[in-house]
Structure 1
Amino acid sequence: MSRSLRRGVLAATVLSLSIASLSACGAGNDAQTLQVKPDNAATSAGDIKIQNASVVTQPDLNAKGPAVVTATVFNNGAKDQKLTAISVNGTGQSAKLSPAGGSAGAITVPAGGSVVIGGQGNASAVLASGREAVQDGNLQPLTFSFSSAGKVELGAYVVPAKAYFEGYGPSQVPQPSGSASPSGSASPSESASPSESGKPKAGAGSASPKASASAH
């Protein structure tokens, strides 16, 4: 066998082994590609599953005011469950819950269905002192309390109401605490009045009638 032919056979063998290795990685229930998980906060306990949990704060870092908790809650059971509380671990703060289109109170997660928390027209969970309770960029532990499933804990990402999260942010957006006030503008009394500015000054070069007559 010539040297060039041996090189061709060796290259073909290496290529076939590489293809076989890649095929093995993607085959079966334990394939590596099946173990890739999305980068969002999610957990499950019994019939309850929580996905895409976030705490959305004011868009301006210096603004003080409420924050909101957003999440999608699934109920795989045969009976309705009620979400009775969402608390921020370590702060003593709990969110004010409101069903979609209703007053404050527990949020019902229907059997075999789901509930979206946050966003226009959906159920809401509002933290009255969000800026004091959480910090942007943190992974904040939260506890969801359900009527049957009990307490379910997970870490939620804390993000400002910008870009993708703009439509899910707090409905009440106060002005930043360091915003300038219009009190520094000049008052009308400080500006010169038209009568004074247009009035000629005595002795400013204007000749009197007697002086012009004597000149002739």
Structure 2
Amino acid sequence: MDPAYSKKKIIDLTDAELVALGFMGEDAPRDVAMIVEQVRGSPQRLGSITCYMVDILRRQAIGEIPRSLPPALPPPAMFNVSELDSGTTESLVAPPPELMWRSDKGTNPFITLSPGAESFHLPIKTVHGVYNVPLSYVWDNVAPKIIETMKARGIKYSSMSTARFSIEKEDGCDGPLGPVVIWIAVHPGTTDVESVRGATPDICRILADFNITDTVVEWYEGAITRLGG
């Protein structure tokens, strides 16, 4: 995708632009075209969806492995992601992936209110692109080492990318951007929480060797599926 479109909103583009980007038309994956239709049909609620966000889904749909940049982080705390937290990874129109583990759970608790509690509201998280961070300049050296670590531990990953997230505030506006996140997907049913938690410190050490800090690693289950046009 042309980088000039990364931050542009879907609702601001013409049909011709959406077709050229592979988001509409005969060559667009069915699920991607459906998402675009939903966004354009609900501009007040979904108007913040950007081309970058939809392009992630397009690339997954056609079988590409995202070539993005990762980050660094502290050792993981010794507990699992809560059931509630696992359902709030991000609300990019499509169902959010099942979050298995995140490295900052101990220092950055997310949700404490249980579903069904009074005034319960599931936060909406929006995914954003990552640009011009220190990791960008060393990623070609870091990524192979992370992949090597996962293979050595028998972790069957399906994709690895980076992102930043914002959480919708009470007034409906996006909150501040969170830290850079290394977003690693593993093939469903192949890896348990203990395995990804155990691999996280190894990834942290790799990043520390390149002086990459203030980054979070998130693991989730997700397979790349090739869809018809």
TM-score, length basis structure 1: 0.23
Greater fraction of residues in strand: 1
Which of the two has greater helix per residue?
Answer: 2
Work out which structure has the larger RCO, using CA pairs closer than 8 Å and 6 or more positions apart in sequence.
2
